[in-house]
Amino acid sequence: MENRDASHPVTDKTVPLMITGAAGFIGRNLAATLRAEGWQNLLLLDLDSPEGALEDYAGKAAFVFHLAGVNRPQNTEEFYTGNAGLTQRLLAALRAAGNKAPVLLSSSAHAGNGTDYAKSKEEAEAALFDHARLNGSPVYAYRLPGVFGKWSRPNYNTVVATFCHNVARGLPLEIRDPAYAFALCYIDDVVRSFMARLEGTAPAGEAPAASGTTCGIDPSYEVSLGWLAGTIRSFAATRQNLTVPDMGDDLTRKLWATYLSFIPENKLSYPLRSNVDDRGSFTEFLRSHESGQVSVNVAKPGIVKGNHWHNTKNEKFLVVSGRAVIRLRRIGTKDVVAYPVSGEKLEVIDIQPGSTHNIENVGEGDLVTLMWASEPFDPDSPDTYFEKV
């Protein structure tokens, strides 16, 4: 069967789209994104749907996302009824209705490993490719590795969900083999790829679907249990050390977003340690080895803070409330440069290396300044030398 992506796009956002397994992890994310992108007519099928809903929706759908399946049954037979059997019933309903809508099947990267779960997924794929030949419908069989992201279930969908849930609650992790390696993909990448198939644009980096073949998600990530556990544990420590994970690393950024989604809603706030005296306060907010440190500085009326310089460290000052004068003088010179600033006009002042500098509150209330430094403060190597402006 030829690649039908580009020739059979579904772009009318008023047509019905069918999603089986709509209340599950992938289905919930897909449905939320479709709605956010303006798709108005979603036919959502799940365990609590009324009898006959599958056949009804199969007669109406312009595109079918078949995401329902069984991966943790009470008995082995449920693999076959919940994966292969349900797929066969859905495809038969489409043919009975004369509906040639494209069908996207969520299968598993475990297909081919000889387990009953794998065999049931293989049977579902075979039924899908038979349907393409019998019905002339475009079909896409996705062999997904472990999918992680928001709204996944601990102790069910993925080890990432279990680790994030436990670490966010201070619970232990069970790791039998830290070196065990496996593949992961991120829910937003899965949804992006699924929607590209819907809209007729085969996702970049992914092979086109064709009869008798399967497709996957790009990117996917190979990780070990030990690395994954250590990374997620490091996320919990950020509330104490204020260090932001490396957002430049694609996988770390996605794992961090997933971890945040598992923090209990009544535990989203955490205190910061402030250095307070009669002049005001200084509170470190965030730090990053790659991007420096962000702090909040509060000064009382008439107070001057600073009067120091740095060799390499550089800073940015942003007054967000109150009025101030920021002064700078290059070391070894007498010329002082002054910048009047206020929270009424947000502007950033760059603090140069080699220039002693200070900030004076010239207003009647507290002065609040956001301060970024190119390096997190290190008491063993502060690069800070006191000298009055």
Residue 382 lies in a domain: yes
Same domain assignment for residues 305 and 210: no
Q: What is the pLDDT of residue 202?
A: 67
Same domain, 108 and 219: yes
Among 229, 264, 297, which residue terminates a domain?
229
Domain assignment present for residue 248? The answer is no
Same domain, 288 and 353: yes
On whether residue 364 sits in a domain, the answer given is: yes
Asked whether residue 352 is assigned to any structural domain, the reply reads yes
Task: Examine the domain organization and report whether 148 and 63 are in the same domain.
Answer: yes
**Full residue range of the structural domain in which residue 298 is found:** 279-386
Span 357-378, average pLDDT: 96
The span from the CA of 355 to the CA of 369, in Å, is 19
Same domain, 150 and 290: no
**Does residue 5 lie within any of the structural domains?**
no
* End residue of a domain, out of 203, 229, 255: 229
Query: For position 53, which CATH number holds?
Result: 3.40.50.720
Give the pTM.
Answer: 0.90
Task: Identify whether 117 is a catalytic site residue.
Answer: yes
Work out whether strand 355-361 and strand 304-309 pair parallel, antiparallel, or are unpaired: antiparallel
Per-residue pLDDT at 212 exceeds 90? no
Which of 204, 229, 254 is the last residue before a domain boundary?
229
Q: Tell me: do 172 and 299 sit in the same domain.
A: no
Map residue 138 onto helix, strand or coil: coil
User: DSSP 3-state helix, strand, coil percentages of the chain (rounded to 5)?
Assistant: 30, 30, 45
Mean pLDDT lowest among 58-62, 74-78, 301-305, 328-332:
74-78
2: confidence class by pLDDT, cuts 50, 70, 90: very low
The count of other CB atoms within 10 Å of the CB of residue 341 is 22
47 and 115 part of one domain: yes
Verify that 295 and 376 share a domain, yes or no.
Answer: yes
Residue 299 shares a structural domain with residue 216: no
Q: Are residue 140 and residue 220 in the same domain, yes or no?
A: yes
Asked whether residue 254 is domain-assigned, the answer is no
- The verdict on residue 240 lying in a domain is no
Residue pair 289/321 in contact by the 8 Å Cβ criterion: no
Identify whether residues 25 and 116 lie together within a single domain: yes
Find out whether 245 and 234 touch, Cβ atoms under 8 Å: yes
- Res 3: pLDDT: 33
Show the 3-state SS of 145-157: CEEECCCCCCCCC
Domain count, the chain: 2
Indicate which CATH number applies to the domain containing 352.
2.60.120.10
Which parts of 151-209 fold into alpha helices (H)?
A: 159-168, 187-199
Catalytic-role residue among 117, 140, 186, 259? 117
CA distance 114 to 79: 13
3-state secondary structure of 107: strand
Residue 84 lies in a domain: yes
28-53 pLDDT per residue, tens:
999 999 999 999 999 999 989 999 99
pLDDT of residue 109: 80
Q: Tell me what pLDDT residue 326 has.
A: 98
pLDDT beyond 80 at 74: no
For residue 82, name the pLDDT band (cuts at 50, 70, 90): low
- The answer to whether residues 302 and 223 belong to one domain is no
Dihedral sign computed on CA atoms, order 62, 63, 66, 67: negative
